[in-house]
Structure formats: C-alpha cells, structure tokens
A and B are shown apart, each in its own frame.
Chain A
Amino acid sequence: MTTSTPELPRRRRMHLRLNRQQINGLIWQIVVVAIAVAIFGWLWSNALHNLSVRRISTGFAFLGREAGMPIADSWLAYSPRDPYARAFIVGIVNTLRVAVIGIVLATVLGTLIGIARLSSNWLLSRLAAVYVEVLRDVPLLLQLLFWYVLMQGLPAARAAWKPIEGVFLSNRGLVLPLIPIEEANLWVIAAAAAGLGALYLLRQQLVARQMADGKARPLWPYALALLVGLPALASFGLGASWTITLPELRGFNFVGGLTLAPEYFALLIALVTYTSAFIAEIVRSGIQAVPRGQWDAANALGLRRSFVLQRIVLPQALRVIIPPMTSQYLNLTKNSSLAVAVGYQDVVSIANTTLNQTGQAIEAIALIMAVFLTISLGISLFMNWYNARIALVER
C-alpha cells in the first residue's frame, strides 16, 4: 500500500511536508469531525424546534424562580417557597452527606472484611467470602429496596427498638443522641484540630532528629498534651457544655437528638454494604500482592502479626489498593443517585422533579452532569494526591 509513488513529483512532497499516511489521517479526522458536527447540529436544531413548539423556555433563568417542591430531609434551612437554586444546593448537600459518610463507612467495613477473608480462622474467612459473594452478585437497587422494605417493617415510634439508652430504631428511622454544638464547643473542636496539626509537625521534627542520631523519642506525652490537654483547657476556659441531649418520644414522634430518616438510613446501609464487598476484594488482593518474603522477614525479626500487618504489609499493599479504591469511591458517589428509588431527595431526584415541573430537561441534566463531574474530579484529585504521597520513593 505504501509502495513508492514515482508519479508524484518530488518537489510537491517537499512543499507540503506531508506523507501519504498523514494525508490519510487528515482526511479521516475531517470526515469524522464533520459527521459528529452534522449529527450534533441536526439533533440541536431538532431540539430548538421542539422546544419552541412546546413553548419550553431555555436557559438557566428558572433557577431564580420559586421551586414549590417540598424537601423532607434537609440539613439546610429550606422551604418550598425558596428558589430552584436553593433546592439544588440542598440536593447537592444531601448527595454529599450520603456519599462522604458512605465512603468512610464502606472503607472501614470493607477493609475489615478484606482482612477477615485472609484470616487463618477458617470460619471467619469463609463467612467473609460468603458476604462478598452474595452482596456483589445481587443488584444494588434490589438491595436498596430490600433494606427500605425492612425499614418500613420496623415497629412504629411508640414501640421503637431501644438497643442502648438514647438510641431508637423504628419506622421513623434511626434516632441518636446528639451534643448540641454552640460557639464554645466549636472553639474546643478548633483547639483539638490545632493540636492535631501541631502534633503532625512535631512528629516530623522527632522523626528527623531520630534519623540524625538514631535515638527514638517518645511521642505520646506530646500527643496527650496537645490532643487531650489543650481541648480540655479550652473547654474549661470557655465553659463549654457537653451535655448530651437524649431523644425522647413525645406523642407520635421523637423530640431532640439526631434523626436519620428511613430513606437516608436505607440508602446508607445499601451503599455501604454493597461497596464494602468490592473494597474487601480490593484490600484482599492488595495484601496478597505483597510478596510472601515480606511476611517471612518480619516474622524472622520476631514482630507481632498485627504489627507486621500495620507497619509492613499494609503500607506496601496501599500502593496496589489506591487506584481501584478510587474508582469504587466514584462508583459509590454515582450509585447514591439510586436515592430516587426510595424517595431520598439527592441532587438527581431534585433535578428530576425540576425537569417534570419546568420541562427544561436539557438544563436539569446539564446540572446533574456538572455536579457529578465536579465531585468525580474532586475525588480523583484527592486520591491522586494521596497516591503520589504514598508512592514508593526509590533511593
């Protein structure tokens, strides 16, 4: 095919500086782009025509109009008279509330189950394997509906289950005791955070000095002073109150405490258990990817098994674990949109209601896309940063 072409004048080839392959490539690109542009242009003109026929306005002006949609479960102040923009923000907060807490819980549960799968205890490892296999092979939506039905089948608020004092589980959801957060409490939390930051810097100093002279210096007195002493001092100084308000049953519902609505609770359980099964597999294969010799060497040094796992195997396994873990976090976030099936109002559900009320499908879906692309980008950036931090530093 690429046989030399004597007919082609040598001079012309010199001028264009393009060979046959490059010309082919250029033609291909022009054709493909032209087809893409033609298809999208055609779809776009159809859409404009259809929108004008159906008298649907375009643009994002609707965001300022009154939404008129009730949102039952919201952490932000919201009333149906607020504009659509506010409803969207409530939806985004609801999505993040499920996604962030879900990611933390799924990571903890998944890591525990992944380690349990490798346990030398036959029963424990079998149980973990069954857990993983069952949860992975049943659709998440089915699991979500299942949990939701179980939640609705719980006793009414009057006859709520009380596993421990102050915790109620009923068909109104899970009610937990809550510490009311006032300004003084916030300062104490800030003091604890500052202590944590100072401890981190101090630890780096101590490690650097140990590297220099080989003497180990204890960290715990500083930790005690900074993490316990400092907040305690702040608490006394400011007179912060830490009384826990226990929820109590009044009439048909609970007063006080933190209520997790059944929709939220079912969604959280479904997302956490489903994703933890995948995370368990990732953790297991990550640990198995650490060469056997590392275990043997650590055992030969007489280190304890838990110490070996924490300090030698897991840090190495993390390098294998992080990239697939990132995609599980993204999956969990995207799967949180199944909320619409149980009536938890996350951003997708609110966009869907907006779409039904205003008919502005393109804008609603563009907003969903923008929100999820931003969240995905955020998670990816964070995980890439973390991955680079723990990457093997070769000397």
Chain B
Amino acid sequence: MTSITDAPQSPLPFDARPRRTPAGRAIRWLRTNLFASVTSSIISVVLIALLAKAFVSLVQWGYWNAIWIVSGNQTGPCRSIRGLGACWAVIPEKYRFILFGTYPFNEQWRPALVCLIFITLFWVSSRRNWWRKELVLVWAAALILIGVLMWGGVFGLSYVSQDRWGGLPVTLILATFGLAFGFPLGIVVALGRRSKLPAIRSLCVLYVELIRGVPLISLLFMASVMFPLFLPDGVNIDKLLRAQIAFILYAGAYLAEVIRGGLQAIPRGQHDAADALGLTYWKKNGLIILPQAIRHVIPPLVNTFIAFFKDTSLVLIIGIFDLLTTAKTSIIDPAWQQFSVEVYVFVGVIYFVFCFAMSRYSRQLEAQSRPG
C-alpha cells in the first residue's frame, strides 16, 4: 500500500539526470552527435585534432604573423615572412585595380556605383512580391543607367572607352547581360525544341547540342579569333562585345534545357484547355504554359545562374579584364609578385559571397515551393 502512495513522489529514474541544466544539455548533445558510438568517437577525436592543428596554423599565417600594411612598395618585411605569414598589405595597395581595372582613377566612383546598382537590381528581382511586369521596365532603366555611367560622354561625364573597363563591373556586366539576353533566347529555343515542326525542332536541337557539347573556352576562342573572320570588311566589333555575344549564346543553350524541363512538367490538359479557348500559339505559351513552367524550374535556374556567374571568369584566357584577370594582373608588379595567394583569397571571397547568396536564395525558394 505504502509503495503505491509513495510512488508519485518518488523521482522517476530519468528525472535524476541533469537534463535541464545547460551543462547537462551540452553533454547530451555531445553524446548523441559526436560520441554516439566507438567509430563516431574515433572520427570525432581525429577530426578535432586535425581541425585544431589546421586552425592554429591558419590563424598563425593569416592573422598572427600577417603583415597588414606597408608603406609604398617596401615589401621587404613581407618577403622575409613568406610562407610563415600572409601579406595582406597587397590588398589595400591593389584593391582599386582589382575591383575596377584600368578605369580612370578619379572616375572610379562610377563603376563602384554601377556595382551597387547591379546588387540592388539583383536584390529587387529576388523579392517574390515584386515579380510583376513593371520589373522589366526597372531592368531596362537600370541597364541604360549602367551604360550611361560606364561609358559616360553625356551629362558632363567624361567618355571612357570599353577597353579601359575592368574588374568587378565587367564580371557583373558579362553575367547580367548574358543572362538578360540569354533568357529570352533560351525560352524561344526551348519552345522550338518542343515544337511539332521538324525543321525548327532540328535547328534548335543542333544549336543546343553543339553549344553544350564543346567547352566554353572553345566558344570564347571562336568569339575572339573566328568571329572577325565572319564579318564583312571594315566592320569591327569590340572584343568585350564579342565575348558578350558568346556568353549570350552559351547561356541561351543551357537555360533552354532547364526551361524545357519545366515545359515537360506541364500536364497535357493545360495545352488542351488553352487550345479549347481558341488561344493562339504565342498567347497559349505566354499566358498559360510558360508562367507555370518557369515557376517549376526556378531553383535549377538559379543554379544555372551561379554556374554562369562563375564561368564568366574564363574570359581571363582571351584577355578580357574581368575580376579574375585584374587580380592576376595586379601581381605582375615585381614588388608584389610573390603574394598571389593573398590576392586569390581576396577575389575568391568576392566570388563566394555572390554565389553563396544565390545558392542560399535557391534553397529558400525550394523550401517555399515544396508542398505541405
């Protein structure tokens, strides 16, 4: 009898564990996540040891022994600690050149502003509640504004020719214009590839497979060497523009395949219903099919954008001054020649920030679009 009346007061076995205190919770977390089994414990110990070692040497190189600033080109102290500490002094010395290339020094607020406009434009376009028709106008206005700022020649801005552009704005221009023009091209080709008309279908298949079958570098070689051969005498297109055209064609082929995936996901009934309403081909696709198809493939589209953004760095090989080329050129200077690792880390961080933001965004969209 007594045992029954006592029972409610006696603490249950697991209540004895200190699970409510922070320390107890931490121990439990460690036990389930790091030391759940013998194998897991061994892995954890080895990894912790390796990480600690890597962390210590990284901090020693990147912070403790690093030199942050030197006066002028006096890189002697930097060279004496080479291999032991980083020479971050190369960044304050060269960052203007890395970011803006050979753009006239006093006018560099213009490309800086252009980068800001680009980032704002990307941010605005990523907001779901701003996806409406007016966005196209915003894009058109922004791209015109960017052209005015970069070229100048009006409103009292001095003219700067294309071959002096460089750095981050060139990377952003190549990527953004490539996508802005490649996207409609991709839509048309994707529709063409699903068309019932054999001639149009095979033209689209040929285009997509040829572009996707060869490395981007060979397309860029083609743009820089072969393209001038195909133009009539006296017509000369600037190198940057030729590379831009190659990028548009490249983006068009890859985006077409992504969009085609979305088109295939649209049920047959949508086509039938649109036909039954007597809509024309363009109205049917523009109002009914494409809006649904593109919504389906937004995450893979963003992944294609990321790949494309990274691929713009290949213009290094044909000598266009994008962000990577300016970084590589900035260390030609004999005094700074040995500090390319520091510069590559700096540029790598810039690329990473852009791509990571896009991939986070893609993941967020995926989570939102998942049913339930």
Contacts and interface: CB of A to CB of B under 8 A. Distances in A.
Interface of A: 1-2, 25, 28-29, 32-33, 36, 43-44, 46-47, 49-51, 53, 119-124, 127, 133-134, 136-143, 145-146, 149-150, 153, 334-335, 337-338, 340-341, 348, 351-352, 355, 361-362, 365, 368-369, 372-373, 376
Interface in B300-319: 306, 310-311, 313-314, 316-317
Contact of B199 (A29, A47, A134, A137): A29
B221 A133 contact: no
Interface stretch (B89-97, B148-156, B227-235): B227-235
A337 B314 CA distance: 11
30 contacts: A25-B196, A28-B197, A33-B199, A43-B230, A46-B230, A50-B228, A120-B36, A121-B44, A122-B33, A123-B44, A133-B356, A134-B352, A136-B306, A137-B306, A137-B310, A137-B351, A137-B359, A138-B348, A139-B310, A141-B316, A142-B348, A153-B83, A337-B217, A338-B314, A340-B217, A348-B215, A361-B221, A361-B226, A362-B229, A368-B218
A contact patch SS: helix
Given A120-B40, A137-B352, A146-B348, A373 B213 contact: yes
Given A150-B341, A362-B229, 8 more contacts: A123-B43, A123-B48, A134-B352, A137-B310, A137-B352, A348-B218, A365-B218, A365-B226
B47 interface: yes
B215 A335 contact: yes
B266 interface: no
Given A137-B355, A141-B314, A373 B83 contact: no
Nearest to A355: B225
Interface string B173-212: 0000000000000000000000011111001000000100
Contacts of A140: 310
Contacts of A50: 228-231, 233
Given A123-B44, A137-B352, A46 B359 contact: no
Contact of B197 (A25, A53, A133, A340): A25
A149 B324 contact: no
A133 B43 CA distance: 21
Contact of A122 (B34, B83, B213, B317): B34
A348 B217 contact: yes
Contacts of B34: 121-123
Contact of B43 (A124, A141, A334): A124
B372 interface: no
Interface residues of B, number: 54
B contact patch SS: helix
Contact of B278 (A1, A36, A43): A1
A361 B218 CA distance: 11
B328 interface: yes
A143 B324 CA distance: 11
Contacts of A134: 352
With most chain A CB atoms within 10 A of its CB, the pick from B43, B51, B222, B230 is: B230
A25 B51 CA distance: 65
Interface of B: 33-34, 36, 40, 43-44, 47-48, 51, 83, 196-200, 203, 210, 213-218, 221-222, 225-226, 228-233, 278, 280, 306, 310-311, 313-314, 316-317, 324, 328, 340-341, 344, 347-348, 351-352, 355-356, 359
B33 to A, nearest CB: 4
A351 B317 CA distance: 14
A352 B324 CA distance: 21
Nearest to B44: A123
A337 B215 CA distance: 7
Contact of B225 (A337, A348, A361): A361
Nearest to B192: A32
A351 B228 CA distance: 18
A365 B221 contact: yes
Contacts of B215: 334-335, 337, 348, 368, 372
Contacts of B313: 139, 141-142
A136 B216 contact: no
Contacts of B210: 369
A36 B204 CA distance: 11
Nearest to A53: B233
Contacts of A368: 214-215, 218, 221
B36 to A, nearest CB: 6
Contacts of B328: 145
Contact of A142 (B203, B232, B324): B324
